[in-house]
Structure 1
Amino acid sequence: MATAVNYSSQNLESSLDEAFERELARARQGMSEALPHVVAGKPVADGEVFDRFDPVMPGESVSRALAAPAGVVTDAVAAAKETTRIWRNRPYQDRIALLRAAKAEFSGRAAEIAGVISAETGKTRLEAVAEAYEAGDLIEQYCAELERHDGFVTPMRSQAEERNTDVLRPYGVFGVIAPFNFPVALSVNMTAAALVTGNTVVLKPSDKTPWSTALAAEILGGHLPDGVLNVVHGGAATGQALAEADVDGIAFTGSAEVGWSLVRKLGDGPWARPVLAEMGGQNPAIVTASADLDAAAEGIVRSAFGLSGQKCSACRRVVVDGAVHDQLVDKLVERAKRLSVGDPADPTTDLGPVIDDAIAARLDQALATAGRDGTVVTGGRIEGQRGNFFAPAIVTGLPAAHPLTRDELFAPFLTVTRVDGFAAAIAEANAVNYGLSAGIFTTDDTERERFLDEIEAGVVYVNRREGATTGAWPGIQSFCGWKASGSSGKGGLGPWYLPGFCREQSRTIGHP
């Protein structure tokens, strides 16, 4: 399918719409056999079966997999170890060619991939199809970066009797722990970066989305030698076993609590092993008195409520000058109320359900707290549905530094904080532990430049109507978290991600 779709797209062409609906219906039929692990290119059927239920129709199993015992994780890491020397010594042009073959398959199977993603996560068609295309663009981004740097081999100044080069070399085996919210794109993001730089991989899908990530691994693995990419399914216990195994590094996307625990675990030993972690955000959009309020309202609503707020870059907080507070709130509420909440199989649906009861329970509690300590202007649980469906919530009037403005909820829940002037807006925007993404709406050049200089976030947007804090795309924006949002100071999707999967070696070779 030739049509390219990204997270700013407004619609799909009719043939892609129809294909998505067929594939979603097929995926919702579920599977009879549990997904096995993949070790050295062979399926391993070991461990207890767990089910993933359709978030639209709880109780209906959409996928099932086996939870890997510790021994399977050990075997998978050993298989990856056995192939490291062959894989890293393969010419980088060959590694790129194999991954680019996989890229073409992601594009060709976009509707199938999107149907599985939607069945497991409740994503709408636009979000699910865009994710399938993003996987292919991520592969291309990293292949192109490796080519641009000539395989990370840099000639150095040499003296008469010697030749000096500086080389970035792979660490060895990377454990990759994938999230549920972008189970294809983010698993491919971490895995492709590790592979193209010459590492081998043991990939653990989220236990909420085993099929989506297994499908991504099947596509990648179909173009790779056995043992280069291995897959182990399961929940927290499998992730812990992987972190405790003989891996040379971890790539992780998920909560700050888990991510920083991995940093500490892999730093505790005779030497520290790298952890490349992206860990969410409590992302602000500043709206100044000079802003175009229609653009601000559109960008904020698109950013806050896509995937029912289950994006680490979603706009969580609006920080608005008191002079335009009431006008902005009215525009936000009007736009939020236009959004249709329902089954992603319906082409008019803008928001599906939140993924499971755990997030729904946190959201119920947050709404109760917001109603007690502030005002829930719009939104809340939609009763009478089988799944956990929530209309987009907008909350105003919370006291300064209220926990609902400080802690990530990961749900369709937006707070609006009134401030007096630009300095107060920047201070409030930065008053959280996270620093993933941030946006501003202003027509004042001085405010724009101060925002770019003072905001504590890695991904920033100015006057972005397509998404106040969201919408990063490979090669267009990088996805780099500051503070508690990232462990490395560099981000995926961009030009500085690949070196994190490598260590530097200086080579001096004398003439014989």
Structure 2
Amino acid sequence: MTTEPRRLRNYINGEFRDAADGRTTDVVNPATGEVYATAPLSGAADVDAAMAAAEEAFPAWRDLVPAERQKVLLKIADAIEARAEDLITVESENTGKPLALTRSEEVPPMVDQIRFFAGAARLLEGRSAGEYMEGMTSIVRREPVGVCAQVAPWNYPMMMAVWKFAPALAAGNTVVLKPSDTTPASTVLLAEIIGGVLEELGHPKGVFNVVCGDRDTGRLMVEHPVPAMASVTGSVRAGTQVAASAAKDVKRVHLELGGKAPVVVFEDADLAKAVEDIAMAGYFNAGQDCTAATRVLVHESVHDEFVTALAKAAADTKTGRPDDEDVLYGPLNNANQLKQVAGFIDRLPAHAKVEAGGHRVGDKGYFYAPTVVSGLKQDDEIVQNEVFGPVITVQSFTDEDQAVAHANGVEYALASSVWTKDHARAMRMSKRLDFGCVWINTHIPLVAEMPHGGFKKSGYGKDLSAYGFEDYTRIKHVMTSLG
């Protein structure tokens, strides 16, 4: 017997709907390579309907006092916590991620982040009112921007959905969210949960909407005249296309794009800890993380020792099916991503050496072995471009200046880390590294209170923190005559 694929649907104005023209796309479980669901391939009519619903709901949602929006978000966090096992199961099927790690490393931060933004809703800070011109009092209002068109990526479908909708809703905006076409299932389940909370508390149905589809669907959302803001997490190519489209009607844009995080290891670092933590931060989620520790720069005096230890750590790292509790990561997300990662290894220059891995694992699903590549030069393709897979490259450097030059010598500027026992050196490096985040003697931890976002081709705008919250607001000056 064959199991009929599950049918996913859009969530528009409080209702689950098929695409208006009935088109669908297959959704594949990357751990098996088999179709497990179909999702709407939404077109202009679906986007129009979702935008109309969000636009209609906006005035009532905007005009709620912050305490009421906080109440909704706290209720959403509670509801997600109560449905955690359902979300974990769906997300694992969505992505092939290990069940145990999804349970421990994704759901708790998601719930915490929603609760953080629930609190932020009641703490919109601004300059105090005052008289800056004789006879006049000025005040500053912070207001929601309006309808937000949001496009989430496939590497963390649930968590990135939270990073999108939580600050937007907390600030008083309404949302039309599109998940990746390869990972829509958990976002559709989130729509069921969020929609249930909105209905229970009597709020407008169109506050939160989900539209499934492909790149064309995303383009239609960004180009639509209703949204005041487009927020996209994705590739640099996607980001430049979004920025160009949004420029036509001067739409606000929030972009979190790729990364190529340098991991600078000095000779005085605790090498054992560095190797252990870097392997974890490089291979977690199959390296499909914009902040992954995938580009190591290590001082020449400890280079060989480090490479040997990292290759052993890679060999000891396990990938496999979601229900195997011993695995660190699951498959790559899709067949195209497997082809991309393998292509980087196939095209390595002659001077590069594969110290570990460098091959597909098994013939079912999209698994790739933990890989270490040494002997690289700064202008090599694999050093300059984002692999987005379980591949860690290693280069050597001679001194601090060369380390900085190599670290900064890429087009990305999202995250970085420095490994040293020298406090002054760590402070110098944190100043000189041109990245939105610098970790010292660690790599990849995130907290809701601190901003996440990059420079250069990694995009602009911040996720998380009060800064991320403020990105979803606009500032208005109000001046009144005292006469």
Identify the match of residue 216 of structure 1 among 190, 205, 213.
190
Per-residue deviation, 1:420: 0.8
- CA offsets, 1:282-311, max 9 Å, x none? 011001111110111011101110011011
CA distance in 2, matches of 1:352, 1:429: 29
Q: Distance in 2 between matches of 1:339 and 1:290?
A: 26
Q: Secondary structure at the match of 2:59?
A: helix
1:231 corresponding residue in structure 2: 210
Counterpart check, 1:148 vs 2:126: no
- Per-residue CA deviations over 1:381-406 (Å, capped at 9, x if unaligned) read 24543112111110011233211101
Aligned to 1:390, the other structure's residue is in SS state coil
Give the letter aligned to residue 244 of structure 2.
Answer: R
Match of residue 179 from structure 1: 153
Q: Is the 8 A contact 2:361 2:369 kept in 1?
A: no
1:201 is aligned to 2:201: no
Gaps of 5+ in 1: 1-28
- Return the letter of the residue paired with 2:213: G
Runs ≥4 residues deviating over 3 A: 29-33, 152-155, 158-164, 509-512
Change in CA separation of 1:31 and 1:155 when aligned onto 2, cut-off 3 Å: farther
Deviation at 1:220, TM superposition (A): 2.0
**Shift, 1:377, TM fit:** 0.6
- Measured in 1, the distance between the counterparts of 2:434 and 2:47 equals 38
Residue equivalent to 1:478 = 451
- 1:134 corresponds to which of 109, 113, 122: 109
Matched AA of 2:318:
S
Match of 1:316 among 275, 286, 294: 294
Contact 1:184 1:212 in 2 (8 A): yes
- 1:292 correspondence with 2:270: yes
Distance 1:115 1:473 in 2: 25
2:48 counterpart (70, 74, 78): 74
Give the 3-state SS of the residue equivalent to 2:466 in structure 1.
coil
Letter in 1 for 2:465: G
Using the TM superposition, give the Cα deviation of residue 163 of structure 1 relative to its aligned residue in structure 2, in angstroms.
Answer: 5.1
Contact between 1:34 and 1:49, CA under 8 Å: does it hold in 2?
Answer: no
Secondary structure at 1:381 match in 2: coil
Alpha-carbon distance in 2 for matches of 1:80, 1:374: 52
Q: Indicate the residue corresponding to 1:437 in structure 2.
A: 415
| 8 Å CA contact 1:64, 1:210 repeated in 2 | no
3-state DSSP of counterpart to 1:84: helix
**1:239 maps to amino acid:** G
Q: Identify the match of residue 88 of structure 1 among 52, 62, 77.
A: 62
**What does residue 219 of structure 2 align with?**
240
- What displacement does 1:90 show? 1.1
**CA distance in structure 2 between the aligned counterparts of 1:383 and 1:69, rounded to whole angstroms:** 37
Residue 34 (structure 1) shift: 2.0
Partner of residue 19, structure 1 = none
Counterpart residue type for residue 17 of structure 2: V
Give the drift of 1:253.
0.7
Q: Read off the aligned partner of 1:66 and give its amino acid letter.
A: P
Q: Letter of the aligned partner of 1:228 in structure 2?
A: V
Unaligned runs of 5+ in 2: 199-203
Does 2:435 align with 1:457?
yes
**Equivalent in the alignment of 2:201:** none
Cα 1:192/1:431, change in 2 over 3 Å: same
Q: How many residues align?
A: 472
Equivalent residue for 1:260, pick from 233, 240, 243: 240
Q: Does 1:391 align with 2:366?
A: no
**C-alpha distance in 2 between matches for 1:276 and 1:422:** 34
Secondary structure at the counterpart of residue 467 of structure 2 = coil
What percent of counterpart residues are identical? 29
Rounded Cα–Cα distance in structure 2 between residues aligned with 1:373 and 1:108: 53
Distance in 1, matches of 2:167 and 2:4, equals: 31
State how far apart, in whole Å, the 2-side matches of 1:108 and 1:141 are. 18
Match of 1:117 in 2: 91
Instruction: Choose 284-293 or 215-224, whichever is displaced more.
Output: 215-224
Displacement of 1:174: 0.4
Distance 1:42 1:399 in 2: 54
How far apart, in 2, do the equivalents of 1:428 and 1:250 lie? 33
Q: Are the structure 2 counterparts of residues 83 and 511 from structure 1 closer, same or farther at C-alpha, using a change threshold of 3 Å? A: farther
Amino acid at match of 1:145: A
Correspondence 1:42 to 2:21: no
Shift of 1:103: 0.6
* C-alpha separation in 1, matches of 2:329 and 2:58: 43
Q: Could you tell me whether the CA contact under 8 Å between 2:264 and 2:296 is conserved in 1?
A: yes
How many Å separate the matches in 2 of 1:429 and 1:148? 37
* Aligned: 1:356 with 2:334: yes
Query: Aligned partners of 1:32, 1:308: CA distance in 2, in Å?
Result: 26
**Is 1:502 paired with 2:482?**
no
Q: 1:307-356: CA deviations, max 9, x gaps?
A: 11011110120001100000101111111111112111111112211111
In the superposition, the TM-score normalised over structure 2's length comes to 0.94
1:15 is matched with none
Q: Contact conserved, 1:80 with 1:229, CA < 8 A, in 2?
A: yes
Matched to 1:389, the amino acid is F
In structure 1, the residue matched to 2:392 is: 414
Give the distance between the partners of 1:398 and 1:252, measured in 2 at CA: 32
Q: Name the TM-score, length of structure 1 as normaliser.
A: 0.88
Q: Distance in 1 between matches of 2:385 and 2:9?
A: 37
3-state DSSP of counterpart to 1:127: helix
Q: Is the contact between residue 69 and residue 121 of structure 2 (CA under 8 Å) also seen in structure 1?
A: no
1:492 maps to 2:463? yes
Partner of 2:139: 165
Aligned to 1:20: none
Partner secondary structure for residue 327 of structure 2: coil
Whole-Å separation in 1 of the counterparts to 2:157 and 2:346: 31
Find the aligned partners of 1:379 and 1:241 in 2 and give their Cα distance. Answer: 41
